[in-house]
Chains A and B, each alone.
Chain A
Amino acid sequence: MNNPERPTFDQELAASLSRGRAVAVPGFADRVVEAVRGERRRRVVIRWSSAATAAAACFVAILTLSTPTEESLNRQTLALVARDESVQFADLLGAADDLSLLSPAIEKPSVVEVLNAPGS
């Protein structure tokens, strides 16, 4: 039989849990506001750095995509010819001479043979 003076399981469960229902923390609100301000500052920095990056990208794009004048086109063409990369590459490898060894040995016809050929 239950002892009427002794609280039941459910009563003690409720009493025990309700003792931990609210735990006030001194200064907690100030800590939260400080954390929120810190986050707000970080967001401003991120927003400005994104804007700066976008502006820089636009600036570069304007410089790159601007229409070239005829003179600058000529200059670019000359510059390209001046640094013919295939020649530089062959020179670098020292392969210019070696390549002639690999080419098929074909005897070139003389001018007389060409002129005497049927149909010429």
Chain B
Amino acid sequence: MAQEEPTLPDDEDDKRLMALVAQGDDDALRLLVHRHHARLVGYLRGEVGSQATAEELAMEVFIRLHRAASRWRPEAKLSTYLIHIAHNLVLNEWRRRGRKPTTALEFAAEPGDASQQSARRVAELDEAFQRAIAQLPTEQRTAILLVVQQELPYEDIAAIMGVPVSSVKTWIHRARARLRELLKDFYADE
């Protein structure tokens, strides 16, 4: 039986990799990107509604991470730090475009093993949720994505958004109410 090598917890391993990145180790950077990019792109796609833009922004996040590697202090988890950078880039993106997203798109649910009919319902529902989320105010959208999609604790979300925890709770409460309102046709009998 092959003996597994002892592995470091992700946080410790991230710290070790960041130290190597600060010394110019591209393999360490590649490993970090490989480990974190999927969640980052997922979050960004939820925010901007476009796969291409999400990838561009994620690329910029990692370039900034590389620039800041020598100054980085492991006060928070690296994944939280990455989302913090991503959130700031999203805000810049909306400022640059001068508008918020009005449509959600490009989201195709994977049917998996479900039957054709239920796969269609999943796809419809996903699209409806994406459209509804795109209509939320920026703060509410970010808060609901971070708590429900990324499963971050309120404290981390408050740190990422630079606001008190109470504001995060309020935005999440309002986002749920607004989504319920926007999707009332799907849940008319609830």
Contact = CB atoms under 8 A, between A and B. Distances in A.
A62 interface: no
Interface in B108-166: 109-110, 125-126, 129-130, 133, 144-145, 148-151
A12 B39 contact: no
A111 to B, nearest CB: 88
Interface residues of A, number: 28
A25 B56 CA distance: 12
B128 to A, nearest CB: 8
B29 interface: yes
A9 B30 contact: no
Nearest to B107: A20
A19 B109 contact: yes
A12 B62 CA distance: 32
Contact of B129 (A3, A17, A33): A17
Interface of B: 26, 29-31, 33-34, 37-39, 41-42, 45-46, 51, 54-55, 58-59, 62-63, 66-67, 107, 109-110, 125-126, 129-130, 133, 144-145, 148-151, 176, 179-180, 183, 187, 189-190
Interface of A: 2-3, 8-10, 12-14, 16-25, 28-33, 35-37, 39
Given A18-B148, A28-B59, A29-B29, 14 more contacts: A8-B190, A9-B183, A9-B187, A12-B129, A13-B176, A17-B133, A20-B45, A23-B51, A24-B41, A28-B55, A29-B31, A29-B34, A32-B29, A37-B26
